[in-house]
Chain A
């Protein structure tokens, strides 16, 4: 149990377009989902925390208008990178928890390349 999926696994887009990444908890209800960005040779950086039915909480330095997060149901959260630029190219990873004190279960990640 506790499987988290992400879609797509890879996406290539042109500069200026928007890209939506989905994160789904397949076999449990996730009250909280997290979005991370992983830079090459660097750690995972938490971008935002989203609770079902409420607005996401963004970490300092993360532009909420650029990285739109929607946690519309207990099994789905989406991250939309708006007006993407080459510097947004990265590996985006989501995680989900049943409760705030539960283990985080991570998705396989989405590699975004902006040309």
Chain B
């Protein structure tokens, strides 16, 4: 079945460092891909998404490119801030399917 694998955390970086959180997926067909963020004490929020190959999703300085050839959707940010500390979930949704399959989440700590 469809699945999402993302790098284990926690990831600890200093403020202004470059961030990459790896995500790969297994799916039949052409799924939509998502990154969700969960700030402490809050619910999940959609951070960005991409619906077809080579699409780049971006929001709040974060970017991820849908790479079909490597079945990846890595999350990147050029300069992280303390306020980016949260848990990040990579996820996919199959075509014509409203179910979302999540990765295990990666906790990110940004040190001032």
Query: Hey, which bits of chain A sit against chain B, CB under 8 A?
Result: 4, 6, 32, 34, 41-44, 46, 49, 93, 95, 97, 100-101, 103-109
Contact = CB atoms under 8 A, between A and B. Distances in A.
Given A6-B43, A103-B46, 14 more contacts: A34-B99, A43-B89, A44-B102, A46-B100, A46-B101, A49-B98, A49-B99, A95-B44, A97-B98, A100-B98, A101-B98, A105-B46, A106-B43, A109-B43
B104 A46 contact: no
Given A106-B43, A109-B43, A43 B104 contact: yes
Interface of B: 4, 36, 41-46, 49, 89, 98-105
B102 A106 contact: no
Given A43-B102, A43-B104, A43-B105, A107 B46 contact: no
A105 B98 CA distance: 12
B98 A42 contact: no
Contacts of B49: 103
A80 to B, nearest CB: 20
Contacts of A6: 43
B43 A107 contact: yes
Contact of A46 (B41, B44, B99, B105): B99
12 contacts: A32-B98, A42-B104, A43-B104, A46-B100, A49-B98, A95-B44, A103-B46, A103-B49, A104-B98, A106-B44, A108-B42, A108-B43
Contacts of A46: 99-101
A43 B5 CA distance: 10
B61 to A, nearest CB: 20
